[in-house]
């Protein structure tokens, strides 16, 4: 994958959608990770921020907002004490696995039923 650093001006529409999600999760562009890399047609960044489900609810915010906006999020290794976040905008709710993204309600129902989302 490419290591091209992106700015809002050099991002595609799909990459901007992914970056906007990060800005909302981190409660403002000024708190979002400072280096955003091109990652295929998506983006990748690295953070030291604790991603958790409650008291520092960045993980919950990331999951819920990603489902709302049809953005696939993957957490990856990113060096000592850092977590990488890879984001790809999906086309909608229907279609092939690589093109769609379920609603949070659909994903919750499938997980609770023991099925893959």
C-alpha closest to that of 37 among 60, 66, 57, 15:
15
Q: pLDDT at position 3, please?
A: 84
**Angle at CA of residue 36, ends 93 and 14, nearest 5°:** 30
**Is the distance from CB of 13 to CB of 6 less than 8 angstroms?**
no
**How long is the chain?**
117
Q: Is the dihedral angle over the CA atoms 100, 69, 19, 111 positive or is it negative?
A: negative
Indicate the pTM of the whole model. 0.92
pLDDT in tens, 10-53: 999 999 999 999 999 999 999 999 999 999 999 999 999 999 99
Neighbours of 105 (CB within 10 A): 9
Give the pair of three-digit tokens for residue 41: 């047609």
Instruction: Identify the weakest region by mean pLDDT among 1-5, 43-47, 54-58, 70-74.
Output: 1-5
pLDDT level of residue 115 (50, 70, 90 thresholds): confident
Residues 6 or more apart whose Cβ sits within 8 Å of residue 22 = 32, 33, 36, 43, 45, 85, 87
SS3 label, residue 6: strand
Domain extents in the chain: 5-112
């Amino acid at each position: 994958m490419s290591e091209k650093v992106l700015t809002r001006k050099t991002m595609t529409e799909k990459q901007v959608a992914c970056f906007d999600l990060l800005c909302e999760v981190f409660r403002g562009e000024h708190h979002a990770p400072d280096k955003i890399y091109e990652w295929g047609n998506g983006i990748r960044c690295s953070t030291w921020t604790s991603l958790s489900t409650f008291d520092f609810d960045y993980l919950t915010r990331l999951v819920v907002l990603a489902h709302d906006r049809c953005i696939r999020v993957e957490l990856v290794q990113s060096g000592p004490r850092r977590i990488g976040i890879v984001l790809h905008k999906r086309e909608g709710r229907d279609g092939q696995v690589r093109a769609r993204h379920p609603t949070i309600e659909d994903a919750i129902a499938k997980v609770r039923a023991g099925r893959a989302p």
